Amino acid sequence: MKILFISHYDNMYGANRALLSLILGMQESGAHQPFVTLPAEGEFTEALRKAGVPYYICDITQWQAIYKEPVSFMIKKQKRKKQIAAELELLYAHYRNVGIDVIHSNSSVIGTGAMLAEKLGCMHVWHIREFAQEHYGMEYFYPEEQVRKYYEQATCLVTISDALKEYMRAKYPSARVLRIYDGVDAAEIPERAADEGAGAKTEEGAKAEKNAKTEEIVRFVYVAYLFPKKQQLEVLQAAAELKAGGLTNFRITFAGTGLAPYEKKLREYAKKNGLSEVEFAGFVSDIPGLLAKSDVGLMASAYEGFGLVTVEYMLAGLPVIGFESGATPEIVTNETGFLYHDKEGFKDAVKRLVWDRELRRKLGEAGRRRALECFPASANTLAIRKLYDSLQAGGL
């Protein structure tokens, strides 16, 4: 089958990294022929060229946006709907004679794939990766009945977690919804080197290890888009309280870019509270290198659709402190880290991991085992390939 994958952005954040892994896996297997549309050249297209995957550059306008106030949203809606209509015509002209069997949309924030599938008369698989309205405050530019029609007439919705699956089922009960976890190629995230002296085998050795080097610097890392619902500010507030309480042997690195006003707010808060322990690293292309220098991974997001970086933390052998919401509890267990509900829970988890190197080692090792077993990229590619095999055979 010929499958057209559509993405609305060109950088290599989580959703596109998962998509690229899927496309390259499809291409390598030879089972189905991938085509790709995305808005610009870059790292993504370079990988596609190397693999011989055909692609087409075309703007893909989101069919929803952050709602702030009625007038600006109305102006934005009229402009964006015209853009989507123009893009749809360009895509139709480019692909109408290619013989596309399935369009695979890589996000719920774009409806172009659904509209193009209707126009081409082909199947539509919709990858639902986010709680768009709850997480980002998105509102659709189209009437509710039209939005519902597109979701419910899709061949299937593929959600990346059970949390998203239940969410979409509740909103669109007539839709066909499957859950297929994202996966990470373990070869891309090597396990970090163990701390010197870690890994004591005896009970006496473990006790000694627990109390060793209590003033060592413990490095926390949070890889995420800078956005309020990712709750970086709450992490900073907890860090300020921990420092005020006498805990200073920790460092926190925030890796990622995002909303400029929010980033400014974060930086100003850190400066005002004297948080020299905090670093804003911006966009980091070498995630494995960053994780290799870290000791604990953070996932504070209030509405995480899956959390690809959470799996990457675990593959690197890092224990994870995760906010108990969205899909994070599907990834992080008591054996691999700590789930928390509020600031006090977060601070307690930080303190336990700062003072107990043996616990960090134990949780990190268990996390890597769980990530290798439950979230390999090969399993994701195989599951979606089986989905397409089923569609080719005439059913799900």
pLDDT at 243 over 90: yes
Instruction: Please indicate, yes or no, whether residues 260 and 282 belong to a single structural domain of this protein.
Output: yes
Q: Are residues 93 and 156 in the same domain?
A: yes
Q: Read off the pTM.
A: 0.87
pLDDT band at 75 (very low <50, low <70, confident <90, very high): very high
Mean pLDDT of the region 152-175: 96
Is 199's pLDDT higher than 60? Answer: no
- Stated as kind and residue range, the H or E segment containing 34 is strand 33-38
Q: Per-residue pLDDT averaged across 38-65, rounded?
A: 94
342 and 210, same structural domain?
A: yes
- The dihedral through the CA atoms of 37, 41, 42, 47 has a sign that is positive
Q: How would residue 9 be classed by pLDDT, with cut points 50, 70 and 90?
A: confident
CB atoms within 10 A of CB 265: 16
What is the predicted pLDDT for the residue at 15? 79
| Confidence class for position 12, pLDDT limits 50, 70, 90 | confident
CA-wise closest residue to 349 among 334, 362, 361: 334
C-alpha distances in Å from residue 276, one per residue of 103, 235, 244, 270, 279 = 48, 14, 13, 8, 8
Q: Based on the domain organization, do 125 and 270 belong to the same domain? A: no
Asked if 220 and 288 sit in the same domain, the reply is yes
Q: Does 285 share its domain with 155?
A: no
Inform me whether the pLDDT recorded for 208 exceeds 50.
no
210 pLDDT more than 80: no
pLDDT at 214: 56
Q: Are 367 and 383 within one domain?
A: no
The CATH number linked to 122 is: 3.40.50.2000
Give Rg (Cα) of the chain: 22
Contacts of 29 (CB under 8 A, 6+ apart): 381, 385
pLDDT for residue 92 is more than 90: yes
- Split at pLDDT 50, 70, 90, the class of 201 is very low
Q: Which of 15-19, 40-44, 266-270 has the lowest mean pLDDT?
A: 15-19
- Residue 98: pLDDT band with limits 50, 70, 90: very high
pLDDT at residue 25, as a whole number: 85
Mean pLDDT over 65-73 rounds to 86
Instruction: Tell the burial category of 224 from Cβ atoms under 10 Å away from its Cβ (0-12, 13-18, 19+).
Output: buried
Which domain covers residue 168, as residue numbers? 2-183+376-393
Same-domain pairing of 216 and 359: yes
* pLDDT score for 209: 46
**So what's the pLDDT on residue 197?**
40
If asked whether residues 24 and 118 sit together in one domain, one would say: yes
What is the three-class DSSP state of 38? Answer: strand
| pLDDT tens-digit series, residues 40-51 | 999 999 999 999
What confidence score (pLDDT) does residue 198 get? Answer: 43
Q: What is the overall mean pLDDT for the chain?
A: 91
Other residues' Cβ atoms within 10 Å of the Cβ of residue 254:
26
C-beta separation of 229 from 265 below 8 A: no
Provide the domain count of the chain: 2
